Amino acid sequence: MIVPVILSGGSGTRLWPISRGSNPKQLMHILDNNSSLLQQTIDRANFLTGSKKPIVVTNEKYRFMIASQIQEVECNATIILEPSARDTAPALAAAATHACIQDDDPILLVLPADHLITNKDAFKKDVEFGASYARDGKLITFGVTPDRPETGYGYIKKGEAHKKYGREAFSVSQFTEKPNEDRAQRFFESGQFVWNSGMFMFKASTYLNELKKFHPDITTHCNHAMSKAQHDLDFLRLEAHSFEKSPAISIDYAVMEKTKKAIVIPVKCGWSDIGSWSALHDISEKDTFDNVCIGDVIAENISGCYLHSTNRMIAALGLEDLAIIETKDAILAAPLDKVQDIKLLVNKLKKEDREEAELHCKVFRPWGNYESIDLGGRYQVKRITVYPGQTLSLQKHFHRAEHWVVVKGTAVVTKDKDQIVLSENQSTYIPLGTIHRLENPGKVNLELIEIQSGCYLGEDDIVRYEDIYGRSEELAS
């Protein structure tokens, strides 16, 4: 019995401006218009023989988007919410503790939610092989056989060879952080190293026992956090006070670099962590001039480029080895060999308190989404979509009034003690200070245009009285 544990709390800033703090890459349809990276990870987990319902570990910020995407693929998953980021070792301690409560010491397969694997059949065989070692009490890490001297990945050095079922695995000799170019070249040429994929496999009890040996404080705090966990809608919410006492540390540092039970299995399953625009360029289908062009792109005399348009046309002339990524509110232009440094730009945006570091023009909420269309000194225009059967919070604003025009579907609008029903091409006015609510009673998306006017239009101008999603101090409707 295998329980997949899907880690889905990362922010994915290396693929800015498409991936942002409020909508990271695991939730984006970067490679497949029909499914996100998270949904593809769930699909791989379901493809495995004997796989039980997955455990998804995430945080407050992404919980409703993750729940929605899980529902879209009709997956019955347990969603564990971390009250704060503590890296992978505590997250997996919580997941392993929960798995032992639900099942009799299952094998856990740890999968990051934002990776790509193109060969599911090979992946399935890798997991089956790994399970044979996990049942023997080993902690498995899957190491990707390198095809180049990559500086963007950590490396694992293979130690003593072990053979089972005609296939080799190795004791772990050492972990190495991302090397410089010279060191990466030596690693690649030696044949003794594999890339650290961040995928693991072990019995829940094996991991917890080894973690207790090296970091008993983590097991103690995570046990307390799980024992006091509360069910909240579709989520299992860890008790914050106990969990936040745990040190922030990865499974590599906490356990895998210290244990004598670590085994690395070399794999060739078409793996990529899609950690940069250059990585996307490498794995995408290219034209005869080594270009990847996505969206509305007009190009002449370019080579080796990655051009990605989401809203407007990109016109490119005489370029080589560049990444140009266009979104509605930002454009990135960088040499492909420099895109690993995008975090420097994102950090600068954060220091300047720029919304583009965290938010897209389209912002997702548990009830639907809204998109800013136009913004002026004392007005803002938004396109709002409310999913069928969903309801915004009962709220009021101190600094702005709102006009709502329904363009699709049916809306039930509460204004103080009155309630009205609006259909297409009908509108209403919400004066400043009016307690109001918007509902979609129908079976299709409700779409409306909202025109805000006032002296302050920030998303924190809100007093929330009732909310079916359990939000209180969070921003936005």
What is the phi/psi pair of residue 419, to 5°?
Answer: -140, 130
**What digits encode the pLDDT tens for the residues 212-252?**
999 999 999 999 999 999 998 889 999 999 999 999 999 99
Checking DSSP bridges between strand 230-232 and strand 55-59, what pairing results, if any? unpaired
pLDDT at 476: 45
3-state SS assignment for residue 34:
coil
**Count of alpha carbons within 13 angstroms of residue 45, beta-carbon side:** 32
Q: In 3-state terms, the chain is what percent helix, strand and coil (to 5)?
A: 25, 35, 40
More confident position, 72 or 333: 333
**What digits encode the pLDDT tens for the residues 456-471?**
998 889 999 999 887 7
- Band of the pLDDT at 475, cuts 50, 70, 90? very low
pLDDT at 433: 95
Would you list the DSSP string of 324-375? EEE-SS-EEEEEGGGGGGHHHHHHHHHHTT-GGGT--SEEEETTEEEEEEEE
Which are the contacts of 273, defined by CB distance < 8 A and separation ≥ 6? Answer: 112, 114, 115, 116, 153, 197, 198, 279
Span 131-141, mean pLDDT? 97
**What digits encode the pLDDT tens for the residues 358-383?**
888 888 888 999 998 999 989 999 99
Q: Which domains occur in the chain, in start order? A: 2-272 (3.90.550.10), 277-345 (no CATH), 362-466 (2.60.120.10)
Residues 285 and 127: beta-carbon distance below 8 Å:
no
| In the block, residue with structure tokens 């856990």 | 108
pLDDT of residue 31 exceeding 90, the answer is no
Residues 404 and 427: beta-carbon distance below 8 Å:
yes
Span 113-122, mean pLDDT? 94
Task: Report the alpha-carbon distance of residue 185 to residue 103 in Å, rounded.
Answer: 45
Token pair recorded at residue 139: 């902690």
Can you list the pairs that 224-231 forms with residues at least 24 positions away whose Cβ atoms lie under 8 Å?
225/94, 226/94, 226/97, 226/98, 226/101, 229/80, 229/98
Span 131-143, mean pLDDT? 97
Which are the contacts of 449, defined by CB distance < 8 A and separation ≥ 6? Answer: 373, 381, 382, 383, 384, 404, 405, 407
Q: Is 352 exposed, middle or buried (0-12, 13-18, 19+ CB in 10 A)?
A: exposed
Would you list the DSSP string of 238-281? --HHHHTTS----HIIIIITT-S-EEEEEE-S-EE---SHHHHH
- Band of the pLDDT at 49, cuts 50, 70, 90? confident
Residues 2 and 338: beta-carbon distance below 8 Å:
no
pLDDT at 148: 92
Task: Report the alpha-carbon distance of residue 421 to residue 412 in Å, rounded.
Answer: 5
pLDDT at 474: 46
- Band of the pLDDT at 325, cuts 50, 70, 90? very high
**pTM exceeding the 0.75 threshold for the entire prediction:** yes
pLDDT at 32: 67
Span 310-314, mean pLDDT? 94
**What digits encode the pLDDT tens for the residues 75-106?**
999 999 999 999 999 999 999 999 999 888 99
